Amino acid sequence: MLLQVLAAIAALFVLSGLLNSRRRNMHVPPGPKALPLLGNVLDIPKKDVHVTFRDWANIYGKDLMKVEMPGETLYVISNKKVMVDLFEARSAIYSSKPTMTMADSSGFKNSIPLLPYNARLKTSRRLLKQGLSPAAVRSYFPYINNRTALFLEALLKDPDDFVRHFTRTAAHTALKIAYGYEGVTEDHHLLHTAIETMEIFATVVNPGRWLVDTLPILDRIPVSFPFANFKRVQEESRPVVFETVSKPFEEVKKHLAEGTADGSFSSYLLQSEKPDPETEDCIRWAATSIFLGQSDTTTATLSWFTHAMVKFPEVQKKAQEEIGRVIGNDRLPEIQDRDSLPYVNAIMKEIFRWQPIISMLPRSVVQDDKYNGYFVPAGTYLLANIWAVLHDPEVYPEPEKFMPERHLKEGVPNPLDVTFGFGRRVCPGMQVAQSQTFGTMAAMLATLNLKPQKDEHGRDIIPETRTVDGLIRFPVPFKCAFVPRSEAALKLIERGAEHARSVPDRLERWSD
């Protein structure tokens, strides 16, 4: 096996040389000078790669920039127009994904975010579009609003663990939308396993972390092979992933057979789609993708919101004044109030712009192409630098500053049009994600003052704006004091939580 691995490495470098020779004979994009065999790998930092790529793009070009890696050439895009041109206008050939061997062998081979552009992906996205239609998402609003009141109650009981409250609330909502049956959100083992699956997913898809993604032949070595820790990660991950994907889905089928299912994503599609094994498996994985796609990203977004409100109290005060003026003090804000609260909505947009949760989106082209005179070979790995687009000073002046007011001006591009992707791989759950994020933010602003905690000398502890290394961009851990704005605000939370517990734990069937 060792000889096979060494031979594969040698073949990889020979193939790399042939491909680079082919590219030298074509007109390829400019990029930083690369070393033989190693390419630019020594120039790329371990953290904040998107910032380095933005800086290089300012030198070599925002449209397309070539970055050499061992055995692979990346094309980095830092221009929104190019992203739209390729991923939307030419989506038929730019909608695939690079193969991620580590994730595939950890149990995620059929996970929708990782599928190449094939018939299964088309079916899966059709199902997601149908099950997350505007009418379906609106039908979820009452449940999400009620869940927000329960979140506020839990937050006040244990404010130091606010990130866990974000995660549990997002996970509860995603599980309910995906599966819906009564008791799904009270199944603590399922919730724990689902959160563990989400953490595994974020680990195994982390770009550049796993050598097996560059050398897929390594996936064939035994677990006992020296330095084969990745194989142990795969073996430990598969049963956890299988349980998360299969257990709640089988429970939905059981409730359907008993006539006790409600208006969840899975139950609706199991009844409306043809009952064949392939379609059923697509529904199973589509339901899982609702959870994987929402929980971690919603947690990160709300963490950045909390960070921003602690750091920029003047923004918080202005939002609270708008809520008081428009909503008053007799009820909690709801998702349906979004159009009536433009400044709060602008805060949400600025959170997504200022700290996009995923900095770069990968794509792969399935056939040779040319763009603006540049050759794009089939199989090229493209990275859309979302962060760079949202921090372009020509589009968003002073991009490092947190300024929600910029989104109240005419002609300012909506960052939500970039954050959630493009074309045939745009995030199908973006309406749910935005709805839950807005509703949670507005309710927190209406009832709580988010303040910095004090150190031992009574001085404010202002959080430092830095990110944790990983696929999802979380802020480094920080502390926050959640102070009820008034006795009336406390009563509002209590009434909202009592109401949430009093209504049936059901999702009603929607109709388009």
pLDDT tens digits for range 183-198? 777 788 888 898 899 8
pLDDT at 60 over 90: yes
Weakest-pLDDT range from 9-23, 85-99, 306-320, 435-449: 9-23
Residue 221 lies in a domain: yes
- State the average pLDDT over residues 441-465: 93
Give the per-residue pLDDT at 383.
Answer: 95
Is position 190 within any domain? yes
pLDDT in tens, 315-327: 999 999 999 999 9
> Structure pTM?
0.90
Q: What is the pLDDT of residue 512?
A: 58
Identify the bridge partners of residue 381 per DSSP, sorted by sequence position. 74, 364
| pLDDT higher than 90, residue 207 | no
Whole-number Å distance between alpha carbons of 392 and 57: 11
Contact status, residue 421 vs residue 403, Cβ threshold 8 Å: no
Residue 277 has pLDDT above 50, yes or no: yes
> Which of the pair, 182 or 348, is modelled with greater confidence?
348
Please tell me what DSSP assigns to residue 510: P
For range 276-290, the mean pLDDT: 92
Q: What is the CATH number of the domain that holds 381?
A: 1.10.630.10
| Residue 190 or residue 94, greater confidence | 94
Q: What local confidence, expressed as pLDDT, does residue 511 receive? A: 63
Q: Which residues are annotated as a binding site?
A: 427
The predicted structure's pLDDT at residue 7: 47
Contact (Cβ atoms closer than 8 angstroms) between residue 176 and residue 265: no
Tell me how far CA of residue 301 lies from CA of 75, 136, 285, 436, 440, in angstroms: 28, 23, 24, 11, 11
Is residue 507 in a domain? no
Count CB-CB contacts under 10 A for residue 182. 14
**DSSP secondary structure letters along 477-503:** P---EEEES-HHHHHHHHHHHHHHHHS
**510 inside domain:** no
Lowest pLDDT segment from 165-169, 180-184, 193-197, 483-487: 180-184
- Convert 70-79 to b/e letters by CB count within 10 Å (16 or more is b): bbbbbbbbbb
Over residues 123-152, mean pLDDT: 91
Confidence category of residue 471, pLDDT binned at 50, 70, 90? confident
Is it the case that residue 4 has pLDDT exceeding 80?
Answer: no
Q: Is the pLDDT of residue 5 over 70?
A: no
Convert the pLDDT of each residue in 361-406 to its tens digit. Answer: 999 999 999 999 999 999 999 999 999 999 999 999 999 999 999 9
pLDDT of 23 over the 60 cut: no
Q: Is the pLDDT of residue 9 over 60?
A: no
Binding residues for heme: 427
11: pLDDT strictly greater than 60? no
Q: What pLDDT score does 346 carry?
A: 98
**Beta bridge partner(s), residue 363:** 382
Rounded to whole angstroms, how far apart are CA atoms 381 and 98? 6
The sign one gets for the Cα dihedral 292, 296, 299, 300 is negative
Residue 27 φ/ψ region, left for φ over 0, alpha for ψ in the -120 to 50 degree band, beta for the rest = beta
Q: How far apart are CA 128 and CA 126, in angstroms?
A: 5
Residues with Cβ within 8 Å of residue 18, at least 6 apart in sequence: none
- pLDDT exceeds 60 at position 205: yes
DSSP assignment of 407-475, as one string? GGSTTPPPTHHHHT--GGGS-TTHHHHHHHHHHHHHHHHHHEEEEPPB-TTS-B-PPP--B-SSSS-PB
Helix axes 119-131, 265-272, angle to 10 degrees: 120
Residue 494 lies in a domain: yes
State the total domains in the chain: 1
Is 181 within the bounds of a domain? yes
State the Rg of the chain over Cα: 24
Q: What would the DSSP string read from start to end of 131-171?
A: HT-HHHHHHHHHHHHHHHHHHHHHHHHSGGGHHHHHHHHHH
Tell me the residue range of the domain where 16 lies: 2-502
113-117, 119-123, 212-216 — which is least confidently predicted? 212-216
The mean predicted confidence, pLDDT, of the chain is 90
- pLDDT tens digits for range 66-77: 999 877 889 999
For residues 443 and 144, the answer to whether their CB atoms sit within 8 Å is no
- Determine the Cα–Cα distance for residues 171 and 188; give it in Å rounded to an integer: 11
The pLDDT of 166-173, averaged and rounded, is 90
pLDDT (tens digit, 9 = 90+) per residue, 218-240? Answer: 889 888 888 789 999 999 999 99
Domain assignment present for 511? no
The residue type of 209 is R
* Residue 401 included in any domain: yes
Pair of tokens at residue 137: 């998402």
Judged by average pLDDT, the poorest of 211-215, 373-377, 506-510 is: 506-510
Residue 18: pLDDT above 80?
no
Q: Lowest-pLDDT range, 113-127, 253-267, 488-502?
A: 253-267
Q: Which among 471, 286, 370, 389 is positioned nearest to 94, based on CA atoms?
A: 370
